[in-house]
Structure 1
Amino acid sequence: MAKRRGIMSEHLKEEIAKELGFYDVVQREGWGGIKARDAGNMVKRAIEMAERGVSEDKRSL
C-alpha cells in the first residue's frame, strides 16, 4: 500500500498537538502513539483554523 502524503505540515501538527496537550506523547511514541480521540480533535482544530482563515479573507475583500 502506498504511503499517504499528509495535508497538514509537520509544524502545524506539532503546534496543534502542543495546544491540545498531547505533544509529549508524539515526542515519545510518534504520531502512531496518539489516541484516536486526540487525532480527531487535532483535525477538528485544523478545520476550525482553516474556516476562520477563510472567513477573515472574505471580510478583507
Structure 2
Amino acid sequence: MGRRRGIMSQQFKEELAKELGFYDTVQREGWGGITARQAGSMVKRAVEIAQQSLLNQQKQ
C-alpha cells in the first residue's frame, strides 16, 4: 500500500504543535520524533476545533 494522504495541512499541524508546546521537537526530529501521546493530543485538539467550527456555523 502507498502512503496515505494526510487530512490536516502541514501548516495546521505546525500550528497545533506550537499551541501544544512541542513544535521544537518537530523542527529538530521531524514528525517521527513526537510521542504517541503528543500525536493524540494533536488529533484531540483538531477535533475540538472542528466541532467548535461546526457549532459556530450552525448558529449563523
TM over 0.5: yes
Partner of 1:46: 46
- Structure 1 runs (4+) deviating above 6 angstroms are none
Q: TM-score, normalised by structure 2?
A: 0.98
CA shift for structure 1 position 56: 0.2
- The sequence identity of aligned pairs, in percent, is 63
Q: Deviations over 1:27-54 (max 9, x none)?
A: 0010011000000000000000000000
The alignment partner of 2:13 has SS state of helix
CA shift for structure 1 position 59: 0.2
Gaps of 5+ in 2: none
Instruction: State the distance in 1 between where 2:30 and 2:3 align.
Output: 16
Gaps of 5+ in 1: none
Q: Report the AA paired with residue 11 of structure 1.
A: Q
The Cα RMSD (Å) is 0.5
Instruction: State the distance in 2 between where 1:48 and 1:4 align.
Output: 23
Q: TM-score, normalised by structure 1?
A: 0.96
